[in-house]
Amino acid sequence: MPKYVPQHMKSPNTINLQPKRDSTRIQRILAYDISGYKKGRIAQLEGMTNTQVSIIVNSPLYKVQRDKQWAELRAKVVDNESDKIAAGDPIEQEIKDLARTAIDVKKDLLVNGNAFVKNAASSDILDRAGYAKQPAKTKTIVEIDRKISDRWDRVLSNGPNEIEGISTLRITQEMSE
């Protein structure tokens, strides 16, 4: 474990080597440090010695900036102040907000619309609630009496045709919508 020496106990030479102002190099070292890089790896990436990185990392200027960065990260991630983490996707949230307005519009159409609009609105609401209408099967029964049957037979066969013993013809067909 590294030994931390208070500023007043450091040698004047070490104090003179500490950065006096912020620079892009310090910001990069700070980013590496917060990302979890070790001081030796930071020194390799920055083309510095371990001692130079250690002097920068232990300087008061660096420590203040590191504490400020950690506080910002903690506020964003740990305390759920980040919009993306706390609230989720902003587009999805906007759609959820609009869904409430859409329901109110459907309610208004259901109450105040004409018969066609009321039917469409109520069907849509029921579909969304999971009560989709079942495919309706209609049963159509057509009864044809003997006179019409004879006429159709003549049309289809180009001549008179007699059907013995049948006075009506029943056609039954089921249809699906």
Q: What is the pLDDT of residues 89-110, one digit of tens each?
A: 677 777 777 777 877 888 888 7
Considering the domain architecture, whether residues 121 and 144 belong to the same structural domain is answered as: no
Residue type, 39: K
| Helical H segments across 18-176, by residue range | 24-35, 39-46, 50-57, 60-73, 83-87, 90-112, 115-128, 146-157
Beta-bridged to residue 176, according to DSSP, are 137
Cα gap 149→143, rounded to integer Å: 10
Considering the domain architecture, whether residues 12 and 81 belong to the same structural domain is answered as: yes
Considering the domain architecture, whether residues 35 and 81 belong to the same structural domain is answered as: yes
Q: Domain containing 171: what range?
A: 137-176
How many domains does the structure of the chain reveal?
Answer: 3
Nearest CA to 124 out of 109, 145, 136, 139 is that of 109
Residues 6+ apart with CB under 8 A from 66: 30, 33, 34
Considering the domain architecture, whether residues 29 and 97 belong to the same structural domain is answered as: no
Q: What is the pLDDT of residues 123-162, one digit of tens each?
A: 777 777 766 666 667 777 777 888 888 887 777 776 444 5
Considering the domain architecture, whether residues 24 and 65 belong to the same structural domain is answered as: yes
